[in-house]
Structure 1
Amino acid sequence: MKKILMALTSHSEMENTEGKTGVWLGEFTDPYYEFIDAGYQVTLSSPKGGRPPVDPMSELTENITGANRRFQDDEVAKAAFSHTTVLNQVNAIDFDAVFYPGGHGPIWDLAVDNNSGILILDFLDAGKPVAAVCHGPAALISASRLRPGFLTGKTISAFSNAEETLVGRSGNVPYLLQTRLEELGAEVKTALIPFLSHVERDGLLITGQNPLSAGPTAKALIALLEEPEKITPAVEA
């Protein structure tokens, strides 16, 4: 059985507003059930452990997904969500891949979390995939700080500057994620029309643009994990 680590944000405060943020619920539940339905074992973690904050906007009726409704009736999943493992207590050696859901929270905590940055580099160095969606790719910023040039030339996707403006939160964040990732050398590709699903794969790195991309990003990760291992032909003496 393949084992997936999901790394969630612990941050809930926006800037210049009383509005809250946290995990965008559908960006957790959509991938979570993709993994569960594929027969994978999922472990949840976060920088502070315990129950991560949930962005209230992601629980509004217009943003509810089928996976959200399934989660509300899933006592096992809700218990796991309420008792996430502290991020510094997990090790890449114990998992086959790691997935970072979004919500605005990661641009504050996971972007500067050394444990998360080390974890990402450990996964990739071990030949294991790293996936992230929406603001989840902010976690790559920490990996880039620990290994300068890490993002140079990589093709990724993430919540776009246009989308940040359209949701009215560009004045409540410390930086625009797309801009910051591009400053670190990444080529950020997005859908031609905001809020449409878009997924990029660059080697072992899989990234999705926005909430609608969460399920497809998880499916892309599953497809990568299910690829047959390349067998090196024997060399005749």
Structure 2
Amino acid sequence: MKKKILVILSGSDRLNLKDGKIYNTGFYLNEFMVPVKKMLDAGFELEFANPEGTKPFLDKGSDSAAYFGNNEDQHRIHKELLEKLKILSEKDSPVKSFKKIMEEGLDRFDGIFVPGGHAPMEDLTDNHDLGLIFRHFHEKSKPTALVCHGPVALLSAICNAAGFMQKVKTGDFEAAKSAMKDWPYSGYDMTVFSTDEENAVAGERGIGGFVQFDPQTTLKLAGGNMKPGQNMFENNVVVCRELVTGQNPASDEELAEKFINMLKK
């Protein structure tokens, strides 16, 4: 029987920034499709889910050969596969809701993967159903891979994720610590789009403003043992127990390979 992977996506096409500004975003093409293609090539079956089972969105800024080593052929191949999977289809996207995925049963999955783009910061950090899904995978020690901004989705597994995130966004870190309860990934080594990288893309020359919370700071506050790479925007993958995290778009290949090797064991 083929192993089956649950792929988690955001359902948002925007990120609300400070001062009421909005950044149009979605999933990053390479962060999603490079691991997806490698998993399919390895013979795995994939199911896709987001909060409401709606069509996800592609971050248009990621639709570039620059994220595929400036290889136009690789860009085209991955874009064609995306179209074949009908992920972005208005009528027949295969994306299911978290509730539907849980109703059909989580035991059938052997691993879980979350790509980045800024969108997970909008609707995956405090989703109750997603928190239950992550807790299942953690309790079963099933391989769990997240890349770039994807690791912020792990925050949903905090018992009071909504209260925690509300305090984080207001900058009240002490109150956030008080609101936080029982995060299963506390003490894990991990990485995420770093504070330095977030600062580098902030402002008018980047995403047009400033994020409401910093991923690295927030995961550290929750109890993550953060391991950012020495150089910004360069590949950095961290493996700790069943968890595989990649820091940025450059981490797509190695993250996928390490995740697949873990699934094969």
TM-score normalised to structure 2 length: 0.79
Distance 2:33 2:199 in 1: 25
Unaligned residue ranges in structure 1 (runs of 5+): 228-237
Shift of 1:9: 0.7
Distance in 2, Cα, partners of 1:108 & 1:7: 14
1:9–1:80: structure 2 CA closer, same or farther, 3 Å change rule?
Answer: same
Equivalent in the alignment of 2:258: 220
Aligned residues: 227
Q: 8 Å contact 1:50–1:81 — kept in the other structure? A: no
**Are 1:88 and 2:99 an aligned pair?**
yes
- Report SS of the residue matched to 1:73: helix
Task: Kindly indicate whether the alpha-carbon contact (under 8 Å) linking 1:25 and 1:68 is maintained by their aligned counterparts in 2.
Answer: no
Distance 1:138 1:57 in 2: 21
Structure 1 residues 122-171: Cα deviation after superposition (integer angstroms, max 9, x where no partner): 01212311111111101111112355242321110110010111122494
Partner of residue 132, structure 2: 118
Distance 1:75 1:189 in 2: 31
The one-letter amino acid paired with 2:251 is S
Pairing of 1:137-216 with structure 2 (within 5 A): 137-145=151-159, 148-168=182-202, 169=207, 171-216=209-254
Q: Which amino acid aligns with 1:85?
A: K
The alignment's TM-score, normalised by the length of structure 1, stands at 0.88
Relative to structure 1, the CA distance from residue 75 to residue 60 in structure 2 (aligned partners, 3 Å threshold; closer, same or farther) is: closer
* Corresponding residue to 2:86 among 73, 79, 89: 79
2-structure distance, mates of 1:26, 1:123: 25
Give the corresponding residue for 1:9: 10
Q: CA deviation at 1:217?
A: 1.1
Work out whether residues 71 and 78 of structure 1, in 8 Å CA contact, stay in contact via their aligned partners in 2.
Answer: no
Aligned to 1:97: 111
Distance between the aligned counterparts of 2:11 and 2:27, measured in 1?
A: 8
Partner of 1:232: none
Aligned to 1:29: 33
1:60 is displaced (CA, Å) by 3.8
Shift of 1:92: 2.0
Q: Does structure 1 retain, via aligned residues, the 8 Å contact 2:67–2:250?
A: no
User: SS state of the match for residue 43, structure 1?
Assistant: strand
Distance in 2 between the 1:75 and 1:160 partners?
A: 28
